[in-house]
Copies of this chain bind each other. A is one copy, B any other.
């Protein structure tokens, strides 16, 4: 029995509330159980130097965690004077994941920055950031389209992410913190609305895992992503 009483294939309750921040082109608060992430999309007039004159757009992401988001207060990175390796790894992942849903020619030479700030953490913050970040991105692109700045929709599909793991010997979907800290294998899957894989990251925390176990996790992820994409659609409806 999982600590939360969920079945192995159950997602946590997920809600996505849009229009949270008045200044951002797109914004939402995604809540996956007790993990709450504020995702915003800001339009910026410049692209990075390596894209100047290329006609291509750019989507990038930054990730942060409020000091009180965790069980014991975590140190503010602005005061530490640098982002941790973990933070940088997560924000690189979010950026790659979201760019997989964007036709950068159709976007044109503009940048959209997705900020994902964890307000409260209970496991799975990087996955929630991707799922919520995609909604903020979608809203910002909708605003550009309504303003007549884009001929074609540059977004090619939904993108969402979910974690799976082997907990107590059983493959389970959408680990919360209590499960994550005890899981033997931990994996994150980023997939499109049509089921294509964008990122697969699996780590053995203890014993190595087998091809069969990986396949069981992939099956759970397929079903979890479908649930998250439904939540994205509901939020945008």
Q: Which residues of A come within 8 Å of B, CB atoms?
A: 20-24, 27, 34, 38, 40, 42, 44, 62, 64, 66-71, 73, 76-83, 85-89, 91-92, 96, 100, 113, 115, 117, 119-121, 187, 191-192, 194, 196-204, 207-211, 214, 218
Q: Is A67 touching B40 in the complex (CB atoms < 8 A)? A: yes
Q: Is A202 touching B204 in the complex (CB atoms < 8 A)? A: no
Q: Is A197 touching B201 in the complex (CB atoms < 8 A)? A: no
A211 to B198, CA, bound (A): 11
The interface residues of chain A, by DSSP majority, are classed as mixed
> What are 7 of the A-B contact pairs (CB < 8 Å)?
A21-B69, A38-B119, A77-B78, A85-B89, A86-B92, A196-B209, A197-B211
Q: Is B44 touching A73 in the complex (CB atoms < 8 A)? A: yes
A194 to B44, CA, bound (A): 47
Copies of this chain, whole number: 6
Q: Is A113 touching B197 in the complex (CB atoms < 8 A)? A: no
Q: Is B40 touching A68 in the complex (CB atoms < 8 A)? A: yes
Residues of B within 8 A of A69 (CB): 21, 23
Q: Is B218 touching A197 in the complex (CB atoms < 8 A)? A: no
A62 with B40, Cβ < 8 A, contacts A67-B115, A68-B24 known = no
A218 to B200, CA, bound (A): 12
Residues of B within 8 A of A197 (CB): 202, 204, 208-211, 214
Residues of B within 8 A of A21 (CB): 66, 68-69, 119-120
Residues of B within 8 A of A86 (CB): 92
A81 with B79, Cβ < 8 A, contacts A197-B202, A204-B100, A218-B211 known = no
A91 to B21, CA, bound (A): 23
A73 with B38, Cβ < 8 A, contacts A192-B208, A197-B210 known = no
